[in-house]
Structure 1
Amino acid sequence: MKTKSFLLNIIILSLFISCSNEDDFNSNGQSAQESVVTEDAALIVLGANDLTDSLTLDIVIPENEYGLSNAEPLLLLPFYKSADIESETWFPVPNLQIEKNLKVYYSRSNGLELVIIAEKFDSPTPYGNKLEFKELNIIAVKPSSISGLTRSELDTRNYQEMVDFLGLNQ
């Protein structure tokens, strides 16, 4: 009887451990998203990702006390740090890298689905090479919170300026 009870406890414990580990990773084996949410915006931290021609992301705003939700229209501003550059520079999407013959841009269909696309700079041909993102973050912001601001007041292509302005520091 003690053996059965002991085995049952081990099985339950191993099921608990395997279920809790599943929450830390998505289906691609990448780290699950982390978020910082304020009243007007959310910073979605997706971590390391690879992009070959296109990358589809389903952005999820977690439940929060501010009422920011997945149902409201939000601007999605992607930023990444390249793994092949030693720099800590955040690149906005869209961007052009003429020296690499690369353009990176995004499209949205509906809701919070975002598709990041890489093409050759001089044509609509897929880039064809793997881009490694050391970090990929998405800033989701209510349009009303930044409307009317000039670029000198807030540069939406500057990651750190956006994070500071919206209070999204980690």
Structure 2
Amino acid sequence: MSLKLAAAAGMIVTLLRLFSVGELSPTGPPTDSMAEMPRDTAGIIKRGPSCAVSEYNEELSRGVQSLSYQQMYNLIKYNQSEFVLVDIRRPDEYAQGYIPTAFLVTITNGAFEKHVDFRQIMCGRKFVVVYCRSGRRAQQAVEVLKSIIPIKIYPGSWLEWSRLNPRNVIE
């Protein structure tokens, strides 16, 4: 492996670790267009062997799954490697507190899906869970993303989480 390749691989691993622990949020210029990605007959992006497109299409046809507080807590506690938790509030709201393992993707510009490569964020994980302060922005994000990636919503959002878990810890 060349020195440049090794350095690039190391940088990618570091960035993915920062994303997964919520210390870094994706920002910057728009990424490649998802419109160019291969899709199956239902229009869902093909993700290769790590993602069962037919299972996701079946789940999508039933609607996006809403998670309760207890389901969200258990996902974080026992299944962190299966999903990515995305907080879609403003940076000032995020700075006041966030659900453990979440990282920030702000949707105030109205076209966040063009500025964030959610395929890269998933990095082999099965699905993304979105939440916001009260549930409204999370629902907007779900409407945009549900045909792009496997997605679930925590509608209780930060208001419920901070009320039921005031210390904001996973024990």
- TM-score above 0.5: no
In terms of fraction of residues, the more helix-rich structure is 2
Q: TM-score, normalization: structure 1?
A: 0.29
Normalized per residue, the structure richer in strand is: 1
TM-score, structure 2 normalization: 0.29
